[in-house]
Structure 1
Amino acid sequence: MSNSVTVDTKPYEGQKPGTSGLRKKVKVFIQENYTENFIQCILDVNKTSLIGSTLVVGGDGRYLVKEVVDKIIKISAANGVSKLIVGQNGILSTPAVSYIIRKYKTLGGIVLTASHNPGGADEDFGIKFNCSNGGPASDATTDAIYKLTTSIKQYKIVPDLNCAIDKIDVHTFKVDQRQFTVEVIDAVEDYVSYMKEIFDFPKIKALIQGTEQRKPFNVLIDAMNGVTGPYVKRIFLEELGCSEKNVRRIVPLEDFGGAHPDPNLTYAADLVEAVKEGDYDFGAAFDGDGDRNMILGRDAFFVTPSDSLAVLADNLECIPYFARGGVRGLARSMPTAAAVDRVAAARALPLFEVPTGWKYFGNLMDAGQLSLCGEESFGTGSDHVREKDGLWAALAWLSLLAHSGRSVQEMLQAHWKQFGRNYFTRYDYENCTSESCEEMMSVLERTMTSPGFVGSAHSAGGKEYVVKLADNFSYVDPIDQSVAKRQGLRIIFEDGSRIVFRLSGTGSSGATVRVYVDSYEAVSVGGAAADALGPLVSIALDISRLKQYTGRDEPTVIT
């Protein structure tokens, strides 16, 4: 039998979870008691339900995951948790954690990830708590966790409890006269079985393998050395019959092979080049923890996340999950281009515009009002879980292609012909000085709210835009009436074009400024996005004086 002990500790400043948990550099998390403090506060915020509860634990395989899983096991045992469900070797994708929480009806889960941020001893780590619905903790919960971190004095731990997580097994311990169980599970099995319920795998396999009437459809799937590697191997190699040449970087690595595991045109440029140069009909990449995706067609034809969401929304009936259950509503984050809005209108479906952060979709899903949603930051998902889901998105696209017989580019061209096109881009300025960025946002908001700004005209590249609305976006949750304020500065022009400015909460240090530009064209749908958006980008940089405040001549990433 093992006994718990109480360890004295002191608070650390800055343990405030962002939109996706607490993210800091590894060197911050390895400070004495830093990680232990935060884990204890996650458990304490659930104190009334903790005794006898079950929690799910897993992460994206980055540096420090195994060590932190060990701490979670020891601290959970000391705090009266009855059982932990842990992914083998600490591996579980974020959408898999969500599904396992829901399938086994657990109290929640602790996810060890910094998502799309780099990994390694000198890079990023993260911890977030997912609630019993499988989704990210609400603002009220993360605020409560943060408040506890500011005053924590002690944490409880069972220092001599050692549990191997490298093999699938069930371990039982006696702790403080109570039974404590750690079940180490196959990280992939539950999730893959669920995907086979959602999608028609034989139909997707027939697309990829080819038939007498149709040549094989050649795919290239890139796990970016993140958590989706084992899932890609099981689904694409074992279930769908792909060969090794159809997958790449499917071994999870603690530093993601030195790459930045963010599936966009900048950080997945090698995939873009491989699809462009090779004989591939379809390409997909996923981020470190498996919740983001990038979709490419032949010749590396890029599908923006906003367009991806809209095309999926208009073709959901070809996916068995939606054919059975129907479609209740559609939603997008506020910065995401409004392409899906037109699909919702055409299909007489409710459309919700929410702040950035997947947790805002959860309430709508739990209330039965939302079926499909997405964010321009390469996140797409449905009510099958309460997280965005990269692999799900790729399988959804393959389902559409198998059903329609069209190529990726043909799907987009047909969609634009019917609905028009939302040209969209996002400029990211990463690791900027926080103080100057905050000053920029403050000055910009004062400019936007000054008399005469609404109605003012702004010109660039031979085009003129007149301001119709300017505000700092706020959201009232239609389910619980909670309010989220100051979610991004919006400038909306009379033709429907938009410029949005946000300070991101997903980085581990410094500030990231994101500038979103969205321009709708009903007829001129075949042009280059850079040409169509050039005038608005110029106006955005001029209004914000972004170069002056950030000291940057160019963004870090353009998507």
Structure 2
Amino acid sequence: MFKTVTTAPYKDQKPGTSGLRKKVPVFQQENYAENFIQAIFDSLEGFEGKTLVIGGDGRYYNREVIQKALKMAAASGFGKVMVGQGGILSTPAASNLIRKYKAFGGIVLSASHNPGGPTEDFGIKYNIGNGGPAPEKITDAIFARTQVIDTYKIADVADIDLDAIGTFDLAGMTVEVVDPVADYVTLMEELFDFPAIKAHIAGGFKVVIDSMGAVTGPYAVEILEKHLGAPAGSVRNSTPLPDFGGHHPDPNLVHAKELYDDVMSPTGPDFGAASDGDGDRNMVVGKNMFVTPSDSLAIIAANATLAPGYAKGIAGIARSMPTSAAADRVAEKLGIGMYETPTGWKFFGNLLDAGKATICGEESFGTGSDHVREKDGLWAVLFWLNILAVRKESAYDIVTKHWAEYGRNYYSRHDYEEVDSDAANGMVTALREKLSTLPGQTFGALKVEAADDFAYNDPVDGSVSKNQGIRVMFEGGSRVVFRLSGTGTSGATIRLYVERYEPDASRHGIETQEALADLIAVADEISELKKRSGRDAPTVIT
């Protein structure tokens, strides 16, 4: 029933900030997926007879790898696996299942916002028992195991029918195929004022959500159309497809431009939102107002008590280092903790588990709270709908009033994608070498106050994470940040983050790139970004 298969290591299986991501043909190599899955199991202890959650975003190769993982889980000694019907589970829904049913952990199959298809991206990530991404000590152990692995164990049995809800036996292990949506909807009903939102929509407030051919379609249809009463068709591109219907499921102003243009048109919806491949990212747009992820985090935190699940207030706010400091000002006014972490949702886990933070966010269109241990795109959209329904104001008014009270953090991210890896690493190395010489230097009207390579000391477990992004801070609160992304599969992505704080409300109407122009120019001068990348302009500006 069980067999041991001889294999050989692949040297390129080091997990990034969100697991192992490669092109589908790489994962289709002999034993490639099996090696990594076995390395996960070999790096864990104490799971015999316990429950594992498995699901993915429905992208190409999802079903095939789920069948492999099920058979390998049985061979390794798990007692039960819960798997989403059709192999579908959004990343936040998977986190919820792990937490709700006290599973040992979970395997999430996704490459998040990256394209899907036979020659596009695929990914495998392990989540621990709190529902969050595995910490570095586990991912480091997984990688170390991949370098020496020589066998894997698998059940030699037929595939499970993933489309039939029910309980099945697989080589002595129980497999429960579950409705991927139901438990998540129940959780959202507990957190948000569904009657108020439903009444707001019934009163003529028009909402559209673009699921971009990805995993949130069934979740959004069930919640927005069936529970909240939005007209049929309010959720666009709602069927999850292996290639996302040709969409690049990254909810930003480039890939969700059609939605943005629709909301901005005179006769378009009052509010629009989009989500990514696995459902953990979001974009929110109101009439005449694109809400930046950094502002969204701050405004959700400032208005948190309007949602029933947060009526007693929040313990603290956490944000990734590149995310703007807008939320810091909210935390200061509320008198609660503010935590700045490296990029990667796994760094929020300890803070959430310890009760130090309640609301978390990253500038890369990710927002969430302690309800799960992943960022959660639909949660953020529902929070906005809750705020809009209770305040009965437009998104434009809510954002501009927030700026008037707290000041505006002009903020933008410039992505240079698929840059030659050696060139990108060379830029970062050169920057690190000049960090000590930058403080005190003047560039036009900008004077460098400090410069460093961000390191994080976890206040819960004392762990230290170094080299998390290069920061150049200027007098007056402006800054630029340089970072290599760990979410791509081809070359390197250089990310430049630019921020200027403006307390004067009379200056809050400047176009963002214009407000940041001098900082963008100085960032290029300091880093030689365009010269070293060979690019005249960013691939994407958000």
The corresponding residue for 1:272 is: 260
The corresponding residue for 1:208 is: 201
Contact 1:473 1:488 in 2 (8 A): yes
Trace 1:408-557 onto structure 2 (pairs within 5 A): 408-450=395-437, 453-459=438-444, 464-523=445-504, 524-557=507-540
1:259, distance to aligned residue in structure 2 (A): 1.3
1:166, distance to aligned residue in structure 2 (A): 0.7
Contact 1:74 1:161 in 2 (8 A): no
| Structure 2 residue matching 1:194: 3-state secondary structure | helix
What are the superposed Cα offsets for residues 19-62 of structure 1, whole Å, 9 maximum, x if unpaired? 0000000010000000000000111111x212101100000010
Inter-partner Cα distance in structure 2 for 1:148 and 1:537: 42
Inter-partner Cα distance in structure 2 for 1:159 and 1:304: 50
Identity %: 55
1:71 corresponds to 2:68: yes
1:296 alignment partner, one of 265, 270, 285 = 285
Inter-partner Cα distance in structure 1 for 2:216 and 2:233: 17
Contact 2:217 2:235 in 1 (8 A): no
1:130, distance to aligned residue in structure 2 (A): 0.3
2:34 alignment partner, one of 9, 33, 36 = 36
| Structure 2 residue matching 1:423: 3-state secondary structure | strand
Residue type at the aligned position of 2:350: N
Residue type at the aligned position of 2:100: K
Residue type at the aligned position of 1:345: E
Question: Gapped runs of 5+ residues in structure 2?
Answer: none
Inter-partner Cα distance in structure 1 for 2:151 and 2:25: 22
Inter-partner Cα distance in structure 2 for 1:161 and 1:366: 40
Contact 1:56 1:101 in 2 (8 A): yes
1:244, distance to aligned residue in structure 2 (A): 2.4
Inter-partner Cα distance in structure 2 for 1:314 and 1:45: 41
What are the superposed Cα offsets for residues 498-522 of structure 1, whole Å, 9 maximum, x if unpaired? 1000001000121000000010000
| Structure 2 residue matching 1:20: 3-state secondary structure | coil
Aligned-CA RMSD value: 0.8
Inter-partner Cα distance in structure 1 for 2:524 and 2:156: 54
Instruction: Count how many residue pairs are aligned between Structure 1 and Structure 2.
Output: 539
1:76, distance to aligned residue in structure 2 (A): 0.7
| Structure 2 residue matching 1:129: 3-state secondary structure | strand
Q: TM-score, length-normalised on structure 2?
A: 0.98
1:17 alignment partner, one of 15, 39, 45 = 15
1:8 corresponds to 2:6: yes
What are the superposed Cα offsets for residues 362-388 of structure 1, whole Å, 9 maximum, x if unpaired? 100100111001000000000000000
Contact 1:440 1:546 in 2 (8 A): yes
Inter-partner Cα distance in structure 2 for 1:274 and 1:399: 22
1:160, distance to aligned residue in structure 2 (A): 2.0
The corresponding residue for 1:213 is: none
1:127 alignment partner, one of 124, 137, 157 = 124
The corresponding residue for 1:377 is: 364
Inter-partner Cα distance in structure 1 for 2:249 and 2:268: 24
Alignment CA distance shift 1:76-1:161 (3 Å): farther
Inter-partner Cα distance in structure 2 for 1:246 and 1:51: 45
1:138 corresponds to 2:99: no
| Structure 2 residue matching 1:49: 3-state secondary structure | coil
Inter-partner Cα distance in structure 2 for 1:205 and 1:447: 56
1:359 alignment partner, one of 322, 341, 346 = 346
Inter-partner Cα distance in structure 2 for 1:53 and 1:447: 51
Runs of 4+ in 1 over 6 A off after TM superposition: none
Inter-partner Cα distance in structure 2 for 1:401 and 1:228: 22
1:195 corresponds to 2:188: yes
Inter-partner Cα distance in structure 2 for 1:402 and 1:50: 45
Contact 1:117 1:261 in 2 (8 A): yes
The corresponding residue for 2:88 is: 91
Inter-partner Cα distance in structure 2 for 1:393 and 1:255: 25
What are the superposed Cα offsets for residues 102-150 of structure 1, whole Å, 9 maximum, x if unpaired? 0000010000000000000010000000000000000000000000000
Residue type at the aligned position of 1:375: E
Contact 1:266 1:557 in 2 (8 A): yes
Inter-partner Cα distance in structure 1 for 2:142 and 2:464: 19
The corresponding residue for 1:331 is: 318
Inter-partner Cα distance in structure 2 for 1:273 and 1:414: 24
